[in-house]
Structure 1
């Protein structure tokens, strides 16, 4: 996000939401499974703007699960547009993006918002900044492919994601096994 619009970016999982309450969160993007209840933690937050999206963290169709779709990423970008528009009425803000674990859907959404707000920044730089915000980031590849298309990044965001996956696997080799167990082996295979 541009410094004049948002001064702090946070990605977390549901279990971490209570610790974020005291951090003056101004904007929240919640990405939840379709059947998951709304997290009670937000009842204790100061007033903030919040958008909720509901879909599963999967990269291949599964029975009774909702795949990420272009419309979900379009909603993320609309959230980003609203965030940029609101910068006129405030000096700074704190953006919190969360999903269940704060690893995949939320990190994909955060890097999408960063790419939208910083169209001239390189894709590798965006993913490096994402890793500074959330070291365990493993962005959902389906969401990133949609973002790549919607932001006219010409495949560069997806290529940078491959390099990011490679860095994550080298940083913690157990990540590859964990992602395979979660049905995300195709992403591990993407790692460069």
Structure 2
């Protein structure tokens, strides 16, 4: 778990489910939850009075597979609508948490997209900030592809994602085999 304010006026924290209970305290103003389709809602959601909470349910897959629910354009549009609410909240948006199950794929893709949403031309910077925030992340390509199309970034979000992955693998070359082993080798730069 780590934080960044480089591209935002608010603190951004990315985490997994196991970290969520310790973070849902009085300073959180916004929470973006990305959960598997059939995962029960965490108990930590019970103490979110006054928090702008967006809950999306889709599986961590990068393509359509039988038995899994992949994110859709509508899901990514909801992520971007959450970003619009964050921006509209102005100074009252102090701390946003973006989480998925492990804080590795869906949450990191969504956080980078949110940081880049209102910062055209800084997409690579948004993704590279993940190196400090979640040094073991592998952002979900499908979310990034859809956001790039919806925001009409003409590949800039995908270029940022590729720059992040190159930098990550330069620092941690052992991750290359792990990515291959989990069936996402096609995402290697």
Cα drift, residue 19 of structure 1:
1.8
Which stretch shifts more, 19-28 or 136-145? 19-28
Cα drift, residue 99 of structure 1:
0.4
Aligned length: 186
Which residue number in structure 2 is paired with residue 54 of structure 1?
57
Gaps of 5+ in 1: none
Q: 1:91–1:63: structure 2 CA closer, same or farther, 3 Å change rule? A: closer
Say if 2:178 is the partner of 1:175: no
1:34-183 mapped onto 2 (5 Å cutoff): 34-45=37-48, 47-87=50-90, 90-119=91-120, 121-183=121-183
Which stretch shifts more, 105-114 or 165-174? 165-174
Q: Distance in 1 between matches of 2:122 and 2:52?
A: 29
Query: Which secondary structure state, in structure 1, belongs to the residue aligned with residue 136 of structure 2?
Result: coil
Query: Which secondary structure state, in structure 1, belongs to the residue aligned with residue 25 of structure 2?
Result: helix
Cα drift, residue 45 of structure 1:
4.5
Q: Distance in 1 between matches of 2:56 and 2:180?
A: 25
CA RMSD after TM alignment: 2.2
What's the TM-score, normalizing by structure 2?
A: 0.89
What's the TM-score, normalizing by structure 1?
A: 0.88
Cα drift, residue 135 of structure 1:
1.9
